[in-house]
A = this chain, B = another copy of it.
Amino acid sequence: MSKFKTNFEQFSIASYLLKWTLYILPLAFAVGSLVAFFLWSLDKLIQLRFAHSWLLFLLPVAGLIIYLLYKYLGKNADRGNNLIIDEIHEPGGGVPIRMTPLVLLTTLMTHLFGGSAGREGTAVQMGGSMAAFWGKRLNLSAADMRILLMAGVAAGFGAVFGTPVTGAVFALEVLALGRIRHDALLPCLMASVLADITCASCGIHHTKYHIDFVSQAGGFSILHTDLVLLSKVILSGVAFGLVGYLFANLSHAIKNYSNQFIKQEWLIPVIGGAIIIALTFLLGTEDYLSLGVAGKNPDSVTIVSCFSAGGATYFSWWWKLLFTAITLGTGFKGGEVTPLFFIGAALGNTIAVLMDVPIDLLAGLGFIAVFAGATNTPIACTIMGVELFGANNLLYYAVACFTAYYFSGHSGIYTSQKIAVSKI
């Protein structure tokens, strides 16, 4: 790099970017539109379940149908996000396009009948499988297919949460623990920005979360940082990381043990659904079912309510964690990320009360940091904090997410994520 370059490589860079713009435009429009349809339907179905509580009793039946759909029509689509990550690392049999309708339909079923799950898995899988489909039409080389798959992931993530910059960085950071490679930096950003614009122009509004807290240096007034608060944020980061670890390992354990001990595979989702019904009655609340962004009643525990005093009980985080680990561990579909937001925000609410810290700050930090720990994406989650909550508390976002990243250990919800750089 030390010599004065005589060949002006910028021309080939420009033509490379132009090529990718053309490849990505149709993909981003398609993914953005489909995500918009998904979010719209999801909202309608959740409202429908609120109106008809008895739908929950059909959850075991829904689980059985989901099982049968994937068994007879799914091929390898059942592997979901992990299949896409694998195909990005090393091209194999490809990501089948049937993944798109299957994951869309089964996620909607999961939510209609009250399974506790999220959205990002669905959006990422639709993005990835549509990218694979489109890449095959374009006859892309293996190297280019890799980039298009990453762009598909970025498009799905960026559109589903309305966070385009996070979508791009997440698609690069999630592939391997401990590393961001900048290949596909602009293709991913293009895809997530365009998909987000498309989704928003279909009329989708994303939930707004607010951290009103603005740091003002406290005890040691010569400092511009409140060291007491900083220490509390570090401790919370440890807790967020441990809970991310707990979630990842509990989901895997439920999946592994149920496969091991329940010989009739079709029984697994049926039992899973039955346990969710039983837990709901045991706790006497529907708050931990489905997405958790909107609540059935004004006093429901939701992600939004966790940002206010009294918005969560001491153990809300644990119940949401358990409901979600059972739902996803026994074969229902949807993402892990929105439940992780819920778990984190609820845990933040609890910790804030225990440690006397502003609740909205800790709920926001938990929201991003449990996710950072469970998926090993600390930089993407720090940026997500900025996209969702603004810049005021950037330092605390970074401290919480980086700390949670360390304390989640070398596990994570995506079993296909490689370990590129060990944490210690």
Q: Evaluate contact between A423 and B182: CB separation under 8 angstroms.
A: yes
- A16-B424, A193-B225, A407-B10 given as contacts; is B398 within 8 A of A168 (CB)? yes
Q: How far is the CA of A95 from the CA of B15 in the complex (A)?
A: 42
- Are A399 and B252 in touch, CB under 8 angstroms? no
Query: A173-199 CB contact bits vs B (8 Å, 1 = yes)?
Result: 000011111110110010001001100
Q: How many residues of A contact B (CB 8 A)?
A: 75
Interface residues of A in 336-387 (CB under 8 A from B): 378-379, 382-383, 386-387
Is there an interface contact between B398 and A245, defined as CB atoms closer than 8 Å? no
Are B225's CB and A406's CB within 8 A?
no
State how many copies of this chain the complex holds. Answer: 2
List the B residue with the shortest CB-CB distance to A179: B181
Beyond A4-B256, A12-B424, A382-B165, is A402–B186 a contact (Cβ under 8 Å)?
A: yes
For the complex, give the distance between the alpha carbons of A382 and B387 in Å. 12
> Beyond A222-B201, A391-B390, is A421–B4 a contact (Cβ under 8 Å)?
no
A interface residues with partner B (beta carbon < 8 Å): 1-5, 9-10, 12-14, 16-17, 164-165, 168-169, 177-183, 185-186, 189, 193, 196-197, 200-201, 220, 222-225, 227, 230, 238, 241-242, 245, 249, 252-253, 256, 378-379, 382-383, 386-387, 390-391, 394-395, 398-399, 402-403, 405-407, 409-412, 415, 417, 419-424
Known pairs A12-B424, A16-B424 / 11 extra A-B pairs, C-beta < 8 Å:
A1-B410, A1-B411, A4-B249, A14-B407, A179-B179, A179-B180, A179-B181, A196-B225, A201-B222, A386-B391, A386-B394
